[in-house]
Amino acid sequence: MSVTPNVRRDAVPDLSAISLAERMVTGSASCSLTAWRLDTQYDLVAHGLAVGGELVVAVRPPLECPLATLPPGTGVEVRLDLVRDCSDPMLRVVAASCHLLGELTFLDRSECARLLQEAELPERVAELAGFPGTRIGVVTTDRVLVHDRRGVTPVPWEALGTPLADFPRDDFGLHDAVVSQGQGRLGMLCDAVRLGIVPGTATVRPTGSQVCGHVLDRVFCIDVDRAGATLMRIGAEETVTAFIEFPTCPTCPEAVGETLSAIASAM
């Protein structure tokens, strides 16, 4: 079974790719786990980074699942798929995703208890650890493959240890900061990126025939990241996805709005 897509050999991880990978592996994405050699998949996975930087997962497999009986300390090859959805409830769009191949090793009870006592586990993993039947494991890997508007970019695992600018984790606040700019200004920004007036990238594709009428001729915020904001304008004939680069990393939702206002005013 092939589990790795074709990756561009010239793809070099930039701030956007590294930031996306960091946000998703730290918990800002849904996660599923596939242990293909055990012929099993588990979709309800809590995940994040421990204090020491290890990627940890928490699962509650049913007794008939091979993951329920895998001995602690025994490694098994797995694939993790992380999906980050658009924060706008009107759209069912994947903002970005990533996957990685690695080795999962479950921890024994004493080690789990120690990590909990010393508050070394990420919040969601620690919450699930308190339920009966939960198993905590560490996944080791050498890279993450980020899927975004540009294709597939490999991000070495060690790159995730690169110091990144502080960025708010309030997805809804960030979304509101963008949409508060208004449809007119967001539409202008999409056009400006497409015409090369402001820094960014734009892709254009035909609008599908199954698009609902209430989303036509509107601009939506797909995602906001350290590197910029991704907008989508859905027209009757074509759909434009525009990534607007930020000159500097905003440190709060209010700064995102101010940055977009400044970019629009400078056009």
pLDDT in tens, 195-250: 999 999 999 988 877 777 778 889 999 999 999 999 999 888 899 999 999 999 99
The amino acid at residue 110 is S
Instruction: Tell me how far apart the alpha carbons of residues 20 and 17 are, in angstroms, rounded to a whole number.
Output: 5
Strand 46-49 with 55-59, pairing: antiparallel
The label of the residue with tokens 């989303």 reads 215
Pick the CATH number of 15-161 from 2.30.110.10, 1.10.10.350, 2.60.120.10, 3.20.20.10: 2.30.110.10
Q: What is the mean pLDDT of the chain?
A: 89
Tens digits of residue pLDDT in 97-121: 999 999 999 999 999 999 999 999 9
Kindly state the DSSP code that residue 218 receives in the 8-state scheme.
Answer: E
188 close to 264: Cβ distance less than 8 angstroms: yes
Angle at 193 between CA 191 and CA 194, to 5 degrees: 65
Q: Which two tokens stand for residue 55?
A: 């990627």
Q: Which residue ranges make up each domain of the chain?
A: 15-161, 171-266
The DSSP bridge partners found for residue 35 are 40
pTM, 2 dp: 0.86
What CATH number does the domain located at 171-266 have?
3.20.180
> Closest Cα to residue 116, out of 133, 125, 67?
125
* C-beta atoms surrounding 82 within 10 Å: 25
> Closest Cα to residue 87, out of 267, 202, 263, 256?
256
pLDDT of res. 3? 41
pLDDT of res. 12? 67
